Amino acid sequence: MSRRLLWSLIVGAAIAVAALIASNDQDAITKLLRHDMSGLILKIAIVVFAAGLILVLMRERLSKALEAALFWVVVGLVLAVAYSYRFELRDAGDRVLAEFIPGRAASHGRTVEIVRGQGGDFSVHTSINGARIPMVLDTGATSLVLTADAAKAAGLPVEVLAYTVNVETANGRTRAAPVTLDRVAVGGLTERAVPALVAQAGQLKTNLLGMSFLNRLESWEVRGDKLRLRGHP
């Protein structure tokens, strides 16, 4: 740093001396012309000298300032790109999370994909009347079936329901109450006024996502380890 400062002083002084020598002439016209030129050169020398001195003294601070400015410019560009592609990034994030979280739905417009769980079943994160209800896909069930606890969480009056429908469960034959669910949502798909059944307390361990919901969709299919649900436009 000190050597650069010394050389800057020497170069500036040399330029100033050269300008003074160039102006020392006896011819009037030449003297006038060279005086103007030497004044310009002297001014340029002073500016160059001052700028070089400032750069030498402020080099470290200027470098840090430029680095900080470049950092925030990059951050601003990243944020701008992220905001511009926020919907695409959200869909990509949903797809990544769906691969690692069984039952989590990855939405693509009116299409929802769910990855098969390790047990071989399709666990489905479902929202029923605003309550989060875990379910298992059961294409053999003619209706969506809720346990008594899940029905309570969804705001249904299980104490006054009429259990008049015979159903077959893993525990044998039991009775269930027919109900109509205001809203059933899986990912970005939402169906309203969905027929369902509520099993008697203690008679069902798992909520079943059956055909009364699947038949409301435009289509559904299982491809490999993925369940794909497509809603109506």
State yes or no: pLDDT of 16 exceeds 70. no
What single letter denotes the amino acid at residue 33?
L
12-21, 55-64, 81-90, 184-193: lowest mean pLDDT where? 12-21
* Same-domain check for residues 28 and 46: yes
Torsion sign, CA atoms 83, 85, 90, 92? negative
Residue 161 burial class via C-beta count within 10 angstroms: exposed 0-12, middle 13-18, buried 19 and up: middle
Whether 43 and 91 have beta carbons less than 8 Å apart is answered as: no
Q: Which of 84, 99, 118 is the last residue of a domain?
A: 84
Specify whether 129 is located in the same domain as 152.
yes
Reading phi first (left if > 0) and then psi (alpha if -120 to 50, else beta), residue 208 is in: beta
- Contact assessment for residue 207 and residue 184, using Cβ atoms and an 8 Å cutoff: no
* CATH number of the domain to which 163 belongs: 2.40.70.10
Residue 144 pLDDT exceeds 80:
yes
- Residue 105: CB atoms within 10 A of its CB come to 22
Which helix (H) or strand (E) segment is 152 a member of? helix 148-153
Domain boundary among 69, 84, 99: 84
Q: What are phi and psi of 83, to 5 degrees?
A: -70, -40
**pLDDT reported for residue 148:** 94
| pLDDT at residue 229, rounded to an integer | 93
Which of 95, 103, 101 is CA-nearest to residue 207?
103
Q: Per-residue pLDDT for 31 more than 50?
A: no
Select from 84, 119, 134 the last residue of a domain.
Answer: 84
Per-residue pLDDT tens digits for 203-212: 888 999 999 9
- pLDDT confidence of 199, banded at 50, 70, 90? very high
Same structural domain, 6 and 67: yes
- pLDDT of 29 reads 42
Encoding tokens for residue 37?
């030129």
Instruction: Looking at the structure, tell me whether residues 197 and 104 fall in a common domain.
Output: yes
Range of the domain at 67: 2-84
> Is 0.85 topped by the overall pTM?
no
For residue 88, give the DSSP letter: H
pLDDT digits over 78-130, tens only? 777 766 666 565 666 566 555 555 556 777 778 888 888 877 889 999 999 99
Q: Mean pLDDT highest for which of 12-16, 42-46, 140-144?
A: 140-144
Number of domains within the chain: 2
* Residues 113, 62 share a domain: no
